[in-house]
Amino acid sequence: MKARKFVKRAPARKAAPGKSKKTTTRKASKSAKKAAKKKTAKKAVKKRASAPKAKVKPASKPRSRTGVRRAASKKIKKKAAAKFATKTVRKPIAKLAPAPVAPSPPPPPYTVLGPMRARYAEVLTAGALEFLTALHRQFEPTRQAVLAARAEKQKRYDAGELPDFLAETKAIRDNQDWRVAPIPADLQNRRVEITGPVDRKMIVNALNSGATHYRADFEDANSPTWANNVEGQVNLKDYWAGHIAFTDPGSKKRYEVKSNPAVLIVRPRGWHLDEVHLTIDDAPISGALFDFGLYFFHNAKAQLGKGTAPYFYLPKLESHQEARLWNDVFAFAQERLGMPKGTIKATVLIETLPAAFEMEEILYEMREHIAGMNAGRWDYIFSFIKTFAKNPNYILPDRSQVVMGEAFLGAYAALLVRTCHHRGAFAMGGMAAQIPIKGDEAANDAAFDKVRADKEREVRDGYDGTWVAHPDLVPVAKEVFDRMMLEPNQVHRERLHVRVLRDDMLQVHSGTKTDEGFRLNLRVGVQYIEAWLNGRGAVPIYHLMEDAATAEISRAQVWQWLQYGAELEGGIKVSRAYFEKAMHEEMEKVKAEVGGRHYAQGRFPEAIRIFRELALSRDFIPFLTIPAYKLIS
């Protein structure tokens, strides 16, 4: 590779200091530009002077950054709109109408106000609550009407009118052709029935007791707490489903239903009681419809599948209109569940004085659904006092002296058998409330002898069966009926020779009024109310199984003796001062009997207050369970 040659150039000629060629040319150019600008400016001034003057806008304020951004955004949008306007305008797309929204369902008409504990939802189902709603809406107005009619009738009695057989229904009584509908086979032999509350252990024991029938009681033998009522329904549902057996967690004892159990009959509450834990259309449902409706809805079909049917005892009726209401309820319920008319069979308790004068009419109104009547003696005594609360001519002696077979009790018992058998229905005897007396064989034998004598009287009077309150009394009563009633029943004994008049039905028992009888009423009444407030409806007191009926008798008789200043044996006159003195002394006895600790931990102050208010009230309170219910609901 050839090496490049570097030639040395001659140095450039130096210009005169301060007078280079380039400098001279640049200056000339600048001078020409200035002259041209001045000329152009003069022309512009002349042009503006000749033009019309425009309005001068005030100087705008300097804009913030946010303002600048907004102005720029508007300018961009304006340009985009102008650009879009030059293009073909398309038709706007029609908006689709929104799909119709289904209205939300209305809230149910029923409200369960009681707590929903374990398994309650198994009976308080939507279907069951809708069934109860239908019953309530259909029959609540009629229920209120018959209760109002009760009150009006009582006003007439208070004014001095006496109960009597109805003139307007004489044709029904005189017609000898009608009879009640045929009665199912498992109700033909009812010689011994046992009654009790609906707790699980009691149900199993009663079904296994050897009695022919068991009356599961939501009424007088039950304290109507929310838990008792709903759990009772769960227990009965379990029985018909075949799984009521259980092991007691405390004793570890196994309870299960044996073969050939008693036939089950359910007693709902009376028309006068509400169930405040369930409202329909913001009103409490009738306790009667609540008890009946839940049991029938859940178990009727299972019962038919096992060869029996829904059987009921109906309490506290006072007129044939009230019986008609029950008959209408039965017809409605059967149709609603698709069952034949006459599936349900009921036995009506004749336990009020007004109802005793309408027995034939009650049978007639329920002739498609009735199986018989029962002589509910304890409530009947209470009703006698209540009916004549304002009449001083009907003051009763000690309740221990108001016995069956005499006076008004004997007359009504005889009329009941004659009426039922003549129309083809069964007549059921009253309750034997005695219970075994442990540790005193002589006293126990004496108590059982009383039961035996009472049942012998019932068989002789023509009754087809009887009641007991304790399993140990089942064999006592059964022995009497087996010995004296060789056939399943005595319906064929019509007893047409029996003739009972109005005055026979109103005859007061002869007897005495004693200080001990007065004080016994205080002790029994307060102890029962205290137990009832604690959730127990069947309470053993002084060797008798007491229920609400005996407590009603106790407080009613104390009220009656106070109202009319009854004179007791020994010259003591019943007054408010005597009542307060006796109440204090008897509660000291009760405290000693039950123990100071139990007395202090119990609800005795509330029970005493309720009893005192009932006994000292100016007017007779129809049922103690109505004011007392407020304390458990």
User: Catalytic residue positions?
Assistant: 267, 547
Q: Is 429 exposed, middle or buried (0-12, 13-18, 19+ CB in 10 A)?
A: buried
One DSSP character per residue, 278-328 reads: EEETTEEEEHHHHHHHHHHHHHHHHHHHTT---EEEE----SHHHHHHHHH
Give the list of residues 6+ apart from residue 594 with CB closer than 8 angstroms, or none: 527, 602
Q: Which two tokens stand for residue 349?
A: 């308790």
SS3 13: coil
The amino acid that residue 633 corresponds to is S
Which residue, among 495, 427, 415, 411, has the nearest Cα to 467 in the 3D structure?
Answer: 427
> How far is Cα 339 from Cα 524, in angstroms, rounded to an integer?
45
Q: Where are the beta strands (DSSP E) in 377-449?
A: 426-432
> How far is Cα 218 from Cα 267, in angstroms, rounded to an integer?
6
Q: Is residue 522 within 8 Å of residue 558, measured between CB atoms?
A: yes
Q: Is residue 236 within 8 Å of residue 295, measured between CB atoms?
A: yes
Q: What is the DSSP letter of 424?
A: T
Separation in Å, CA 598 to CA 330, 341, 603, 609:
45, 52, 9, 18
For 208, other C-beta atoms within 10 Å of its C-beta total 18
Separation in Å, CA 518 to CA 273, 389, 401, 526, 561:
29, 17, 13, 13, 9
| Three-class HEC string of 538-559 | CEEECCEEECHHHHHHHHHHHH
Overall residue count recorded for the chain in this entry: 633
Separation in Å, CA 430 to CA 214, 360, 413, 560:
14, 19, 9, 25
Sign for the pseudo-dihedral over CA of 267, 273, 293, 352: positive
Q: Is residue 189 within 8 Å of residue 209, measured between CB atoms?
A: no
The amino acid that residue 277 corresponds to is H
SS3 255: strand
> How far is Cα 517 from Cα 553, in angstroms, rounded to an integer?
12
> How far is Cα 299 from Cα 279, in angstroms, rounded to an integer?
23
